[in-house]
Amino acid sequence: MSTAEVIVGEQRRRRWSPSEKRAIVQETDQPGMSVSSVARKYSIHANQVFRWRRLVEEGALSAVGADESVVPASEFRELKKKVALQHTTSIPQI
């Protein structure tokens, strides 16, 4: 007989750390393991595991290292605009 996890109290959702998500996704890569079997093992929906898998592939679950600088999103957008502008002005017009 299988066990069921009952979530009681104020918190209705479980919180998974990025390292836990990566570990669960890595389990799906093991021989003989499928997304659905791993999802059942952790009592989560398979679609959640597929989403985490996509995030891992995109690098979205990687934490910023301590020695890496973080820039505000507004500053990033401004720099991106400048690069795009420089790129379009440096291409010779035919």
Question: Can you tell me the distance from the alpha carbon of 83 to that of 36, in angstroms, rounded to the nearest whole number?
Answer: 44
Is residue 5, in this structure, part of any structural domain at all? Answer: no
pLDDT at 4: 65
In a domain, 56, yes or no: yes
57 belongs to a structural domain: yes
pLDDT of amino acid 58 = 84
Q: What pLDDT is stored for residue 27 in this prediction?
A: 96
Q: What is the mean pLDDT of each run of 10 residues along the chain (94 residues)?
A: 63 83 94 95 95 88 66 84 80 62
H/E/C letters for each residue in the chain? CCCCCCCCCCCCCCCCCHHHHHHHHHHHCCCCCCHHHHHHHCCCCHHHHHHHHHHHHHCCCCCCCCCCCCCCHHHHHHHHHHHHHHHHHHCCCC
Q: Which structural domain range is residue 27 located in? A: 18-63+70-90
> How many structural domains are present in the chain?
1
